[in-house]
Amino acid sequence: MNLSAVPEQYRGLRSFAFGDGPALADELLDLVIRGVKTATCSTEDEPNTSTPGERWIVLDGRGEPRCIIESTEVSYRRFGEVDAAFAFDEGEGDRSLDYWRNAHRNYFGRQGKFREDMMLMCERLRLVEVF
């Protein structure tokens, strides 16, 4: 990661890229930068768990830092308990709950982790700064 693009006050933050590959990382990052994506979720065993108020460096698909986000809310719920409002805030596809469920079944399925009753860490976030 090239930290020269990151303002000094953020250089000690943890970093991550969305998704599970370069194309998805860039697609989801673009949604965050455009203000469309204000939520995300991951499996409860994800090592990058967040706490409200924590800030992160978000990397693009090439591993370059592109922006800072701040976690505003973290909750845990089962896959089937994710509601239409959260799906809309994730910002993907047509923003419907059906789209969200299909996309996340596929995503977590690629990781070999999908179960209808799986527990998810559901996080709301805000964009702090774009580089």
Q: What is the mean pLDDT of residues 84-100?
A: 98
Q: What is the pLDDT of residues 8-48, one digit of tens each?
A: 999 999 999 999 999 999 999 999 999 999 999 999 887 77
Instruction: Report CA torsion sign: 104, 107, 109, 112.
Output: negative
Per-residue CA distances from 41 to 9, 63, 93, 103, 122 (Å): 26, 20, 15, 12, 4
User: Is residue 67 predicted with pLDDT exceeding 90?
Assistant: yes
Q: Is the pLDDT of residue 1 over 80?
A: no
Question: Rounded to 10 degrees, what is the CA torsion of 78, 123, 38, 3?
Answer: -140
- Mean local confidence (pLDDT), 109-127: 96
Q: How far apart are CA 16 and CA 11, in angstroms?
A: 13
| pLDDT of res. 25 | 97
Say whether pLDDT at 95 is over 90.
yes
